[in-house]
Amino acid sequence: MTFGQTLKKIKSLEIQSSSNVTKQGLKALSQDIQKNKETHKKLLKTIKTKSKQLSQVRVTEPAIRNGLRYLAQDIKNAKTAEETRKTAVKSIRDYLTKMKKAEQKIAEIGSKRIKNNMTVMTHCHSRVVMSILKKAKKQGKKFKVICTETRPFYQGRTTAKELLSTGIPVTMIVDSAARSVMNDVDLVLFGADAITSDGFLINKIGTSQIALAAKEARTMTCTCCETYKFDPMTLSGDWEPIEQRDSKEIWEKSPKKLKILNPAFDATPPDLITFIICEEGVYNIREASQIMKNGR
C-alpha cells in the first residue's frame, strides 16, 4: 500500500483507532522514505511535505504528530541523503516499538483493575482498552462487557466481535442508552485520541456524555493511553482541534437546508475521569501536564 493510499484509508476511517492510525501512517512514511532516491535537499523537502500531509489527515491525533516531531528532531543533523534515510527509518521504528511496549505495559497495569464479576463499559474501539480486557481474560478473570454501538461508523461492532472471539461476554447498546444501564456498570474504560495539558480527555464523540452519566451513577471512569497521546502543543496555550467530518456520514441524502454537525470527538473535563492509566502507572488525569513535561 502506497503512502497516498494509506492517507486515503485513514481519512475514510478504513484504518481506525488512534494507535492504528499512528502505526499505519508512520509505516507508510517510512517505506516511502526508504524508496526515495532524491538528493539530500529534495529528500528533506519531501519528508517535510509528507509529514505535514500525514499530520493533517486526522487533526485530533497527537500521537502521530509526536512521532513526526521526533522524526524531524532525529534527522536534523544528518549530512547526506543516505544518512537521512537510515536515520528516519530507525526513528520511526524506535517510536513504534516504544508505543508497542507502552501498550503492553498498560495492559499489565490495567488488567489489575479488572475484578471477577465486574461489568465493564467501553465506547468506540481502542486497541489499548482491548489489550487490557484480553489480558484480564488470559489471567482467568470472569467479567462481562457492555459496549456502545458508536455512531456513525459503528466501531462498537469491531469491539464486540473482537471481545467475543476471546470468549468475553458482550452486550451492545445504542449510544443514548448508556445512562439507562450505568447503575449496573462497575467501570467505564475509554481509550484516548489526545490528553491536553489541563487534563481534558479528547476522545470519540459521546465520551463526555457517558462520563457525566457515570459520575451521576457513581461509576468509576478510566482513560487508558500511551504518553504519546499527550499533546505538548496545549502546554503553550493551543486548543486541541476537534475534527469536523462530512455530514453525509450522518445522513447521505438529507433534506435541503438541513444543517448537520458531525464532530468526531469531544472534550471531557478531568473532573469526570476517575483516573488515567498510562505506561508510567496510574494517575489523576490532572497530572497529565507534568507527565508531558517529563517526556522526550
CA–CA dist 166, 281 (Å, integer): 26
Question: Which of the pair, 149 or 20, is modelled with greater confidence?
Answer: 149
Q: What is the CA radius of gyration of the chain?
A: 20
Confirm if 148 and 160 have CB atoms less than 8 A apart: no
Q: pLDDT at position 296, please?
A: 47
Three state DSSP letters for 45-83: HHHHHHHHHHHHHCCCCHHHHHHHHHHHHHHCCCCCHHH
Could you tell me what percent of the chain has a pLDDT over 90? 86
Q: Where are the alpha helices (DSSP H) in 119-187?
A: 127-138, 155-164, 178-181
For range 258-287, the mean pLDDT: 94
* pTM for the model: 0.91
Confirm if 190 and 17 have CB atoms less than 8 A apart: no
Q: pLDDT at position 129, please?
A: 97
CA–CA dist 126, 224 (Å, integer): 9
Q: How confident is the prediction for the chain on average, in pLDDT?
A: 94
- Among the listed residues 82, 79, 33, the one whose alpha carbon sits nearest the alpha carbon of residue 54: 33
Q: pLDDT at position 294, please?
A: 65
Q: pLDDT at position 285, please?
A: 86
For 114-138, write each residue's pLDDT tens digit. 999 999 999 999 999 999 999 999 9
Residue 292, pLDDT above cutoff 70: no
Give residue 290's pLDDT band: very low, low, confident or very high (50, 70, 90). Answer: confident
Q: Is 246 tagged catalytic?
A: no
Give residue 293's pLDDT band: very low, low, confident or very high (50, 70, 90). Answer: low
Q: What is the CATH number of domain 112-293?
A: 3.40.50.10470
For 257-270, write each residue's pLDDT tens digit. 999 999 999 999 99
Give residue 39's pLDDT band: very low, low, confident or very high (50, 70, 90). Answer: very high
Q: Which CATH class is domain 3-104?
A: mainly alpha
| Whole-number Cα distances in Å, 287 to 109, 155, 208 | 18, 30, 19
Q: Domain map of the chain by residue range?
A: 3-104, 112-293
Give residue 289's pLDDT band: very low, low, confident or very high (50, 70, 90). Answer: low
Residue 256 class from Cβ within 10 Å (0-12 exposed, 13-18 middle, 19+ buried)? exposed
Which is catalytic among the residues 124, 147, 222, 225? 124
Q: pLDDT at position 295, please?
A: 53
Which is catalytic among the residues 32, 147, 193, 231? 193
Q: Is 224 tagged catalytic?
A: no
For 176-235, write each residue's pLDDT tens digit. 999 999 999 999 999 999 999 889 999 999 999 999 999 999 999 999 999 999 988 887
